[in-house]
Amino acid sequence: MKILRKLPFILTALVIGLLASCASTGNFMPLAPNETVIGTVQATFVARNTLNGRDALNTQAYIKLLEVAQWQYPRNEQGGVSIDIRDIVWVSGRDIDNLNKEYAVTGKVIQAD
Domain layout of the chain by residue ranges? 23-111
Q: Which residue has the higher pLDDT, 80 or 75?
A: 75
pLDDT level of residue 18 (50, 70, 90 thresholds): very low
pTM of the model: 0.69
- Alpha-carbon distance of 59 to 65, in angstroms, equals 10
Residue 91 dihedral angles phi and psi, to the nearest 5°: -90, -45
Q: Which amino acid is at 102?
A: E
3-state DSSP assignment of residue 78: coil
Q: Which amino acid is at 9?
A: F
Residue 98 pLDDT > 90, yes or no? no
Which parts of 1-113 fold into alpha helices (H)?
2-21, 54-72
pLDDT tens-place string over residues 37-60: 999 999 999 887 765 677 788 889
- The pLDDT score that the predictor gives to residue 2 is 56
Residue 113 pLDDT > 90, yes or no? no
Mean residue pLDDT across the chain: 76
